[in-house]
Amino acid sequence: MNKITDSHVRDWIEHIRTQVSTVNMGIWSMGLQCTLDGTAEGMLFASSLRRIQGALQVAERELVETARCYQPADH
Task: Report the pLDDT value the prediction gives residue 28, as an integer from 0 to 100.
Answer: 92
Q: Which residue has the higher pLDDT, 74 or 69?
A: 69
* Residues 22-58: b if buried by 16+ CB within 10 A, e if exposed: eeeeebeeebeebeeeeeeeeeebbeebeeeeeeeee
Average pLDDT on 28-46 reads 91
Q: What pTM was computed for the model?
A: 0.76
75 pLDDT above the threshold of 70: no
When pLDDT is cut at 50, 70 and 90, the band that residue 48 belongs to is very high
